[in-house]
Structure 1
Amino acid sequence: MDAITYGSLFLILGSTRLSVLTCCISENPGKHGFLSADAETQEELKDYLLYEEDGHIGLFVMLGETIKPLFYGTVTCMEVKAQGGRCVLHLEALTESYQMDLTVRNRSFQDVAMTSHQLIQKILEPYSQSQILFSIEDKALGQIMVQYQETDWEFLNRVLSAYGASAYIAGNEPGIYLRVGLMDTEEDADWDLLPYVLHRNAAPRETKKGLKGQICYQIETYDILPLGKKVLFKGKELYIGKIERFFRQGLFVSRYYLYFAEGLRKLKYYNPFLGGVSINGVVTAVSRNRLQAQLETDALANYRKKYFFPFSTVAASPDGSGWYCMPRPGDQVRIFFPTADEKESYAIANIQGDSSPASDSPMSRPDLKDITMPDGKAVRFIEGGIQLAVGGNKGTVTLTNDGNAEIVTDDDIEISAAEAVCFSTDGMMSVTAGSRIQFINDAGGNITVTDETVKIDAAMIINN
């Protein structure tokens, strides 16, 4: 390609065309492309450019009768310099992918059947002018993914790190033009005769990539190629892993950093802000010691296969013995993330409501433990014993450490046996009632005790 000169370059800021005095561009994997440029403008246009233009910028080159884009982006810094009788406008801009880096979000994706491609498409869904070229495996996530205090751009790059890949933004394409992973398509570049510099990064943290992963070829050329593309150089398949474009002696030079695929492989990393976070949810299904929950951060309305969280039970064992104390659908839970890895999350009980419980509330005595169900069933480890209760204390059974037992109910108490019921004591047995005590058997025998009388009815009464 013929060299590009100042005269063939121009900027479009909003609807205004500007002549370029100088410019430089840098592009790196997982980062927004960056443009810095100085352009000459008229005195009467400076206020309009500063205050009224929409902030979108394009850098173009005129090649004969053809106009070729070199950069599209959003202006992040503008500055006007008055120099004698002319004005120089200094601009800094980032590629349109910068729009993905403006809003911090909290959301969760629980569909374990969702694939990597579908998740990435979901991330880019709010951005109408976006295109994606995939070069990573499209397989089911198999886990929950949580975007916590991350922008869409940060979350996207973290998701890609699980596949050893990076996001490559094509700065010369309008909108968000994203290449995910390294493309197999080879660019036609005849660079074998060009001077080059060979680097090796032998730092200890890079040795895990192997020798090929530490190697980088640096060349300079007038050719314009995009980031992440494959080229054949000295008989080796290499990838463009970094680009710097700048003017030298009036000519626009592109410096390319070429890597083996191993050198551009991204190591998996996690969100450091997630560890220690809890997210509130409502139980939707329970299976043994696992549950499904609708979280307040859920981004999906429908699921093919929803994620199951293990539940932190009161006590459990591998064979299922011990306490089985699971919440029910509709109960509140919290999903706790003990580390930055979403796969290690689990559900725990969620207590909501008044932080100053009444005196008769179980929470008013934290030293006394209890297990209470929403329908009023309870097991209470009271002082000096244990109490079973139903119906919000409509019926209770209390066993104390000194051997006493007490049964209290608002309704009837029925004791039945197929053979015999035996009451025995070494001391005194006392039976009390408000108005009447009655003993009846199936043969017709009847003993009735009231306030004033004792009545005995039977076929035969033996008095000894």
Structure 2
Amino acid sequence: MSATITGYHNLELKPYQISLQELKIVKKINEHTKAFFTGIVSEDQKDKYIEMTEAQTPIEINQRGVSTDNVSVFKGIVTNIKVKSVRDIYYIEGEALSHTYLMDIKQKSRSFQNKDMTYQDLINNVINEYSGADCNDTVTRGDTIKKFIIQYQETDWQFLKRMASHFHTGLIPDLTSGKPKFYLGLPESASSQKIDNFHYSVGKNISGFWYSSENYLQNVTDTDFIYYEVETDAILDLGSEIDFKDRCFYVRESSALMHDGILKHHYILAPKIGLSHNNIYNHKIVGASIMGKVIDISNDNVRVHLEIDEKQNKDEAYWFPYSSIYTAEGNSGWYCMPENGDYVRVYFPDKQEENGIALNAVRQDKEKTENNKVDNPDVKYFRTKSGKELMFSPEEIVLTGKDNEVFVRINEKYGIEIYSTQPVKITSKEGIEMDCQKKIIMAAQDEINISCKESKISMDGATHINGSKVKIN
């Protein structure tokens, strides 16, 4: 904590050499720290500063020390800058955000399917894409994610805010670093900082208490939502522990504003529970479906390599329930699982991504081949990987055991055909009736045998009739 009175004379702003006129710095949990500045620039520098400012141009605001080193007030990147002329005086106006803004630009989609993955591993997986990025995690303490998690059309910053909300906490940018570094949870400190004898006001967030206590937080009281607004010259970090009025509070929000040439700091202090955050959900996922390839099957569940992921370890993949056409809790229903390598859609019915279900296997091969029978919409097929098939056409039904070798054809014009290159056996424990209005033809290349008890008729070129009694009319 720095209690040195800060004025224009002991503030430096890099990389711009300007006469600072106005300055405002706003800090909030889960938001990038914002800085707004206005200064007078010389005529020969006015165009140079516009040209030199590019994407990711770093900016620093420091408080010069007299007997101590400079104190960093803000580090970030310039997001907007302009120069204007007022009565031949050139003013430069700029806006900047903390380096965590680099994580809040590109929307991404990917899944984390390993339920045994720790939150710390998940965070590292996300921030590894940013040079020098780091997360000081003070809350997860090795906890695993325990469920399917998806980042869907979210920036990394939005996604990590949502992960932090699983612990009812937030993200705090680290302004001492020139890289995208942040805290997940409140920074840990060895002791609290004491402030007193300053202007303050007190309030209570009743609506916030009602909503949080009814939906997210248990065992809280309205006194947990008391807050103090304090004005001081001291520089306090967001989330730092403060001893105020003989009670322990934490900095929930902060804003610094130049007033009468002095940088004044306004803080909102609240009890630790008052800094809690409600669960955040990604409502973009509601109703979304994502294509994926089946990589494992068990009972009525499937593991899926989603198309949004570059790779997916089969043993770490999440088991999604597969929704068939009709499923009953008893003995009825339709059990027809996709094959490994088939493509399905994973559908998310609500904001809880772990409630996703796999459904609707989707054909990817559109080429016409002997087994890719999709050229006639009037013909319906139900076919397995092993070649078993049930075909419905406008004229007939064909049940196939093996293509062109074993099948039963029911044709509305030609009747019923049973064809097999293997033996055909008809067995009944009761009776078999054959009733024909015209004629029955039985033909065999080698032999026909008919037998009942002791009677037998055998035809193998010659006809043999055997029985205890033979009657011929």
TM-score (norm 1): 0.85
Q: Secondary structure at the match of 1:4?
A: coil
1:4 counterpart = 2:1: no
1:144-170 superposed Cα distances (whole Å, 9 cap, x missing partner): 111111111111111222221111112
1:80 counterpart = 2:83: yes
Q: 1: distance between equivalents of 2:104 and 2:446?
A: 81
Matches within 5 A, 1:27-46: 27-46=27-46
Tell me the equivalent position of 1:390.
401
Q: In the TM superposition, what is the alpha-carbon distance from 1:236 to its structure 2 partner?
A: 2.1
Q: CA RMSD in A?
A: 3.5
Q: 2: distance between equivalents of 1:446 and 1:84?
A: 124
Tell me the equivalent position of 1:151.
155
Q: Secondary structure at the match of 2:206?
A: coil
Q: 1: distance between equivalents of 2:429 and 2:27?
A: 90
Q: 1: distance between equivalents of 2:315 and 2:187?
A: 31
1:250 counterpart = 2:255: no
Q: 1: distance between equivalents of 2:233 and 2:471?
A: 126
C-alpha contact (below 8 Å) 1:40/1:89 kept by paired residues: yes
Cα gap change, 1:219/1:392 in structure 2, threshold over 3 Å: closer, same or farther?
farther
Cα gap change, 1:168/1:299 in structure 2, threshold over 3 Å: closer, same or farther?
farther
Q: In the TM superposition, what is the alpha-carbon distance from 1:316 to its structure 2 partner?
A: 3.2
Q: In the TM superposition, what is the alpha-carbon distance from 1:310 to its structure 2 partner?
A: 0.1
- Count how many residue pairs are aligned between Structure 1 and Structure 2: 450
**Deviates further, 392-401 or 272-281:** 392-401
C-alpha contact (below 8 Å) 1:231/1:237 kept by paired residues: yes
Residue ranges of structure 1 left out of the alignment (5+ in a row): 449-454
Cα gap change, 1:393/1:8 in structure 2, threshold over 3 Å: closer, same or farther?
farther
Which amino acid in structure 2 is aligned with residue 201 of structure 1? N
Q: 1: distance between equivalents of 2:448 and 2:26?
A: 98
Which amino acid in structure 2 is aligned with residue 133 of structure 1? N
**Deviates further, 391-400 or 243-252:** 391-400
Q: 2: distance between equivalents of 1:246 and 1:262?
A: 28
**Deviates further, 385-394 or 198-207:** 385-394
1:98 counterpart = 2:105: no
Q: In the TM superposition, what is the alpha-carbon distance from 1:235 to its structure 2 partner?
A: 2.5
1:424 counterpart = 2:433: yes
Matches within 5 A, 1:343-354: 343-353=354-364
Tell me the equivalent position of 1:113.
116
Cα gap change, 1:384/1:341 in structure 2, threshold over 3 Å: closer, same or farther?
farther
Matches within 5 A, 1:119-158: 119-137=122-140, 138-158=142-162
Q: Secondary structure at the match of 1:22?
A: strand
1:404-434 superposed Cα distances (whole Å, 9 cap, x missing partner): 98343363442276x999753243562366x
Which amino acid in structure 2 is aligned with residue 30 of structure 1? N
Q: 2: distance between equivalents of 1:20 and 1:303?
A: 59
Matches within 5 A, 1:16-31: 16-31=16-31
C-alpha contact (below 8 Å) 1:129/1:175 kept by paired residues: yes
Tell me the equivalent position of 1:406.
416
Which amino acid in structure 1 is aligned with residue 42 of structure 2? Q
Residue ranges of structure 2 left out of the alignment (5+ in a row): 214-220
Q: In the TM superposition, what is the alpha-carbon distance from 1:189 to its structure 2 partner?
A: 2.3
1:217-253 superposed Cα distances (whole Å, 9 cap, x missing partner): 1101111121112222223221111000011221111
C-alpha contact (below 8 Å) 2:193/2:241 kept by paired residues: no
Q: Secondary structure at the match of 1:311?
A: strand
C-alpha contact (below 8 Å) 1:170/1:226 kept by paired residues: no
Q: 1: distance between equivalents of 2:272 and 2:126?
A: 26
Q: In the TM superposition, what is the alpha-carbon distance from 1:315 to its structure 2 partner?
A: 3.3
